Amino acid sequence: MGENARRRRPGPLAGLLVAVVVAAGCMGGGLDQGEPEQPRPRQSGQPASPGADATRADGTTSVAEFKQDFSDAVGIAQRYWTAQFRASGKQFEPIRRVVPYTRSGEVSCGGEGLPRNNAVYCSAGDFIAYDVNWSVGAFRQVGDAFLFYLLGHEYAHGVQVRLGIRYNFTIQQELQADCMAGAYIGDNVRSGTLTLAEGDLDEFREGLLAVGDDPDQPWFAEGSHGTAEQRSDSFFRGYENSLDACGLG
């Protein structure tokens, strides 16, 4: 998936989403105080270099490609939400920073150091932070689709804050963010900004069905994200029907 470009054929998306989205990418609006600490945050759309340029065995996923795709995902999200707010007669303020980190505790939110293998939106600091090494590893294993889903989901939490959306239960916040991420991707596919290769939707569906809370986890527990079926339904409801399906009104 890329801006006005046919995306590379990735590996199994299910493996990515299990490792990436469920394990770490959904802390979202739950961390809502604090400013990013060292290293000095870069501006949105300018993630730091993850290290020396290297590729996986098939030579298709370089660090340069990761940086470009991540920058594209941030830029498309900013333009998408700016246009959505403008259509409603409102002004949109982009998320202030996208902060890369490499070590546990290197970036904190509300005095709580962020762990490795994670991505999060911190609402009080208004920034998205992500573990660079973990993100590049997933990018190499699966391809670039996860960058757009992961960035779209975390950006959605920032939009929820801007709209003053607060739910009593984490699961409500997270499923809505899944829907908003689906709308962000779907609307950009329909506009021609993003192009999916044949079979990509099936990979998204299979991946989303592979994620979800443990069956024994109560839906009302703090940190709940929803069952695999709920998450898949929310994402594709947004993908197919745009933001009208996401309960933002």
pLDDT at 149: 83
pLDDT above 90 (res 210): no
Q: Comparing 84 with 166, which gets the higher pLDDT?
A: 84
pLDDT over threshold 80, residue 154: yes
Q: At what angle do helices 145-162 and 200-209 cross, to 10 degrees?
A: 60
- The pLDDT assigned to 205 comes to 74
Instruction: Choose between 6 and 113: higher pLDDT.
Output: 113
Identify the pLDDT of residue 56.
31
What pLDDT is recorded for position 147? Answer: 77
Residue in the structure block whose two tokens are 């890369």 = 100
pLDDT at 231 over 70: yes
3-state SS, one letter per residue, for the chain: CEECEECCCCCCHHHHHHHHHHCCCCCHHHECCCCCCCCCCEECCCCCCCCCCCCCCCCCCCHHHHHHHHHHHHHHHHHHHHHHHHHCCCCCCCCCEEEEECCCCCCEECCEECCCCCEEEECCCCEEEEEHHHHHHHHHHHCCHHHHHHHHHHHHHHHHHHCCCCCCCHHHHHHHHHHHHHHHHHHHHHCCCEECCCCHHHHHHHHHHCCCCCCCCCCCCCCCCCCHHHHHHHHHHHHHHHHHHHCCC
What's the rounded Cα separation, in Å, for the pair 162 and 173?
Answer: 13
- Residue 213 has what pLDDT? 63
pLDDT at 104: 92
Lowest mean pLDDT of 17-26, 57-66, 133-142, 204-213, name the range: 17-26
d(Cα 49, Cα 44) in Å, to the nearest integer? 14
| Residue 179, pLDDT score | 97
Q: Is 247 exposed, middle or buried (0-12, 13-18, 19+ CB in 10 A)?
A: middle
pLDDT (tens digit, 9 = 90+) per residue, 158-200? 999 999 998 989 899 999 999 999 999 999 999 999 988 776 7
Angle, helices 132-142 vs 63-87, to 10°: value is 100
Res 62: pLDDT: 79
Angle at 240 between CA 127 and CA 211, to 5 degrees: 60
What is the per-residue pLDDT across 96-127, written as a single tens digit (0 to 9) for each?
A: 999 999 999 999 998 899 999 888 999 979 99
Q: What does the block give as tokens for 41?
A: 């945050």
Binned at pLDDT 50, 70 and 90, residue 46 comes out as very low
Cβ–Cβ < 8 Å for 7, 196: yes
pLDDT of 245 > 60? The answer is: yes
For the entire predicted model, the pTM comes to 0.78
Total residues found in the chain within this entry: 249
How far does CA 224 lie from the centroid of its chain? 17
89: its two tokens:
């007669």
Q: Cα–Cα distance between 116 and 131 in angstroms, integer?
A: 6
pLDDT at residue 203 in the model: 66
